[in-house]
């Protein structure tokens, strides 16, 4: 009975994981077609313009936002970020030098890794750029998503934003089309997040159920 109950929950977890995987694949395909202009939304026919990233983004050095102490704790409130896959390195108790002009793109100057951030933070390393839209016609999230499609080969250990990366040209629609494209992409992301939240709850339920059953706190009827 115990194994049968756990098996039913495992089956549900498996099915939700399949749905999440499928929706991620759909998001990837739709995002690529929309950001490349291969599929145009109804009502938009104006030609996209090719522009270097330097005409779309301005950068700020992160010096004033560097964390001083590496003593992190989960009881603290302010995350310390990196542009790499780790993203959140920990949480600091420091209250000064917090970046709050979000959203912003974190750009690792040596690896070209990026993160889109929409909350206050501090950073660990000065080896990055903080990128913002140059004017109100630039949808920063749209530019971030476009940057994920850039194929860029690292040739040597150096800072890349000023020397090379900012000169890369990307195709950009007008601000209205940018906003409508991002609305579709973010709607899909929200749907995926909802399934992920559901999955997290079921996994926690399974853990509690397993502990209760094995320790005899929960009895099967």
Q: What is the pLDDT of residues 120-147, one digit of tens each?
A: 999 999 999 999 999 988 999 999 999 9
Are 113 and 206 part of one and the same domain?
A: no
Are 77 and 159 part of one and the same domain?
A: yes
CATH of the domain at 209: 1.10.287.1120
Query: Please, what is the average pLDDT of the chain?
Result: 92
pTM for this model (two decimals): 0.86
The percent of residues in the chain predicted with pLDDT above 90, rounded, is 84
Last residue of a domain, one of 172, 190, 211: 172
Q: Calculate mean pLDDT across residues 41-54.
A: 96
Q: Is the pLDDT of residue 8 over 90?
A: no
CATH of the domain at 148: 3.90.220.20
Are 164 and 210 part of one and the same domain?
A: no
Are 159 and 186 part of one and the same domain?
A: no
Structural domain boundaries enclosing 85: 56-172
Are 167 and 180 part of one and the same domain?
A: no
The per-residue pLDDT for 5 is 76
User: How many domains does the chain contain in total?
Assistant: 2
Residue 9: name the closest of 219, 218, 217, 208 by CA: 208
Are 75 and 16 part of one and the same domain?
A: no
Q: What's the CA angle centered on 131, arms 90 and 164, to 5 degrees? A: 110
The per-residue pLDDT for 1 is 59
Task: State the alpha helices, DSSP H only, in the chain.
Answer: 2-36, 53-56, 140-147, 175-215
How far does Cα 143 stand from its chain's mean position? 13
Distance CA 180, CA 43 (A): 11
Are 92 and 4 part of one and the same domain?
A: no
Are 69 and 149 part of one and the same domain?
A: yes
């Amino acid at each position: 009975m115990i194994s049968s109950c756990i098996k039913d929950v495992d089956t549900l977890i498996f099915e939700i994981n399949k749905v999440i995987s499928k929706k991620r694949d759909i998001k990837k395909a739709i995002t690529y077609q929309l950001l490349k202009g291969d599929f145009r939304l109804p009502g938009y026919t104006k030609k996209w313009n090719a522009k270097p990233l330097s005409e779309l983004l301005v950068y700020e050095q992160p010096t004033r936002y560097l964390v001083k102490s590496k003593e992190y704790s989960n009881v603290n409130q302010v995350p310390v970020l990196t542009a790499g896959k780790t993203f959140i390195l920990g949480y600091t108790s420091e209250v000064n030098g917090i970046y709050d002009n979000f959203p912003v793109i974190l750009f690792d100057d040596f690896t070209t890794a990026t993160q889109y951030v929409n909350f206050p933070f501090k950073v660990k390393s000065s080896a990055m750029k903080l990128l913002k839209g140059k004017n109100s016609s630039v949808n920063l999230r749209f530019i971030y998503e476009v940057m994920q499609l850039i194929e860029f080969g690292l040739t040597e250990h150096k800072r890349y934003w000023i020397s090379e990366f900012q000169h890369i040209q990307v195709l950009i629609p007008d601000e209205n089309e940018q906003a409508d494209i991002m609305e579709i992409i973010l709607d899909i992301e929200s749907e995926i997040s909802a399934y992920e939240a559901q999955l997290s709850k079921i996994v926690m339920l399974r853990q509690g159920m397993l502990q209760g059953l094995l320790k005899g706190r929960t009895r099967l009827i």
